[in-house]
A and B are shown apart, each in its own frame.
Chain A
């Protein structure tokens, strides 16, 4: 499916412009991190890419081949679990993808094992802790074997321990061949997990820079201010 091409994409609601003429090509390979201050439009941009929102103007096109619907998955800031067991939640996504019953059970078992949730697989998903639920959400997405995984501030609500675990899983998923596109407002996380930074400010794509260069020598004034502002808390 990749590359994903955004062509002069804008998105407004009730006259307010949230995404302002963004153009970019997101290709396979580097881990893409969308960074920016609160209100910059990161979450909206992510939803536009994933297809949950439609641009008010401009185009978003998957230039590659393959099944658009099935080849992408998304993990949200707050995990949404169905009222059933952890195992059943993973199976649910697989059933929607048309995977055979036998295959579903196998994949679900494997992926829960891989993220360290095998021991709670039979428990109701909703009674799991916040960290466990987010790991479950990752497992559910991973089981689909997506070509692209979107993550919208996946660790914003988690404690440092759970954050570490989730970041490890992201690494595992990446290693299995999935393209990672992630938003965060945490500079440390961006440094750890990103290969390239797409910096958003006020709805505009202000710069696109490889990660190391971004933090040492950002190209834009906005990025510079942002990094400086955050530095003491890094």
Chain B
């Protein structure tokens, strides 16, 4: 009886040890706060291994909405920020949380909608005109409503189109508070229009009869910037490794890696580091 009890305990202890054996945590890693749309497009999955192989630095990407990513960096929980909301990024640096903003790449937004196209905007090249038509038709429109880069771009476009969306929105305007993927799902299920970044759209698999209806307007271009979190605000920030990542991503090699990323033969992101005013 005593022997049996002891061997049971021994087996249990062994299993516990196996379970709690720590994962080989690479001490050389940086934490990058980025956006859900960037992560879901698969870009990081493509460029991370190239950088890691070259420098041995593991890049850990935490994907959140832009607002959340910047907030995370303010708290000191990230080393580098990689988002697409220039005005928020500039404010971030002005507040002293970031060192310097470098433009990296851009992709564009597209207006997605159902084949039935109740607002009759298909094929248009003027995004502002398209938005006005959507409002006029009171066609269902899904907004991310989560203070993400996409959301802020959408709000800016409504403003440019002369629509006070906060005051004039009716039941046709759905503020979902969701990420890009879930919002696309929502739009798909309610036959509504939605502004999305091309990257997420290309890798989105639940399209139904939806397609890109409006694209190419310069106003739809979506600029990405990369910022090192200020080590003076947060002593523990891995500034050398973070800087190495930033330097690489704007270097010809990094820029080529970005341009090389394609889905279904289509390039998603267009490198433009060093471009004035970007």
Contacts of A84 in B (CB 8 A): 1
Q: How far is the CA of A85 from the CA of B1 in the complex (A)?
A: 9
Using CB atoms, name the residue of chain B closest to A101.
B2
Contacts of B1 in A (CB 8 A): 84-85, 88
Q: How far is the CA of A84 from the CA of B2 in the complex (A)?
A: 12
Which positions 68-108 of chain A face chain B at CB distance < 8 Å?
84-85, 88
Contacts of A88 in B (CB 8 A): 1
Interface size class of B (residues with CB under 8 A): under 10
Count A-B pairs with CB separation below 8 Å: 3
Q: How far is the CA of A88 from the CA of B1 in the complex (A)?
A: 9
Q: How far is the CA of A84 from the CA of B5 in the complex (A)?
A: 12
Main secondary structure, interface of A, reads mixed
Count of interface residues, chain A, beta-carbon cutoff 8 Å: 3
Q: How far is the CA of A84 from the CA of B1 in the complex (A)?
A: 10
Q: In the complex, what's the smallest C-beta–C-beta distance from B2 to chain A, in angstroms? A: 9
Q: In the complex, what's the smallest C-beta–C-beta distance from B129 to chain A, in angstroms? A: 79
Using CB atoms, name the residue of chain A closest to B2.
A101
Q: In the complex, what's the smallest C-beta–C-beta distance from A174 to chain B, in angstroms? A: 32
Q: How far is the CA of A84 from the CA of B4 in the complex (A)?
A: 13
Q: How far is the CA of A194 from the CA of B202 in the complex (A)?
A: 95
Which positions 31-75 of chain A face chain B at CB distance < 8 Å?
none
Q: In the complex, what's the smallest C-beta–C-beta distance from B85 to chain A, in angstroms? A: 64
Which positions 1-50 of chain B face chain A at CB distance < 8 Å?
1
Q: In the complex, what's the smallest C-beta–C-beta distance from B96 to chain A, in angstroms? A: 66
Q: In the complex, what's the smallest C-beta–C-beta distance from A131 to chain B, in angstroms? A: 25
Q: In the complex, what's the smallest C-beta–C-beta distance from A123 to chain B, in angstroms? A: 13
Using CB atoms, name the residue of chain A closest to B1.
A88
Q: In the complex, what's the smallest C-beta–C-beta distance from A46 to chain B, in angstroms? A: 33
Which positions 116-130 of chain A face chain B at CB distance < 8 Å?
none
Using CB atoms, name the residue of chain B closest to A85.
B1
Q: How far is the CA of A229 from the CA of B1 in the complex (A)?
A: 52
Using CB atoms, name the residue of chain B closest to A84.
B1
Bitwise, B171-197 to A at CB < 8 A (1) or not (0) is 000000000000000000000000000
Q: How far is the CA of A24 from the CA of B176 in the complex (A)?
A: 82
Q: In the complex, what's the smallest C-beta–C-beta distance from B25 to chain A, in angstroms? A: 43
Q: In the complex, what's the smallest C-beta–C-beta distance from A198 to chain B, in angstroms? A: 42
Q: How far is the CA of A91 from the CA of B49 in the complex (A)?
A: 64
Q: How far is the CA of A71 from the CA of B1 in the complex (A)?
A: 28
Q: How far is the CA of A52 from the CA of B174 in the complex (A)?
A: 70
Q: In the complex, what's the smallest C-beta–C-beta distance from B130 to chain A, in angstroms? A: 74
Using CB atoms, name the residue of chain B closest to A91.
B1
Using CB atoms, name the residue of chain B closest to A87.
B1
Q: In the complex, what's the smallest C-beta–C-beta distance from A2 to chain B, in angstroms? A: 36
Q: In the complex, what's the smallest C-beta–C-beta distance from B192 to chain A, in angstroms? A: 62
Can you list 3 residue pairs at the A/B interface with Cβ under 8 Å?
A84-B1, A85-B1, A88-B1
Q: Which residues of A contact B (CB under 8 A)?
A: 84-85, 88
Q: Which residues of B contact A (CB under 8 A)?
A: 1
Which 3 A-B residue pairs are closest in the complex by CB-CB distance?
A88-B1, A85-B1, A84-B1
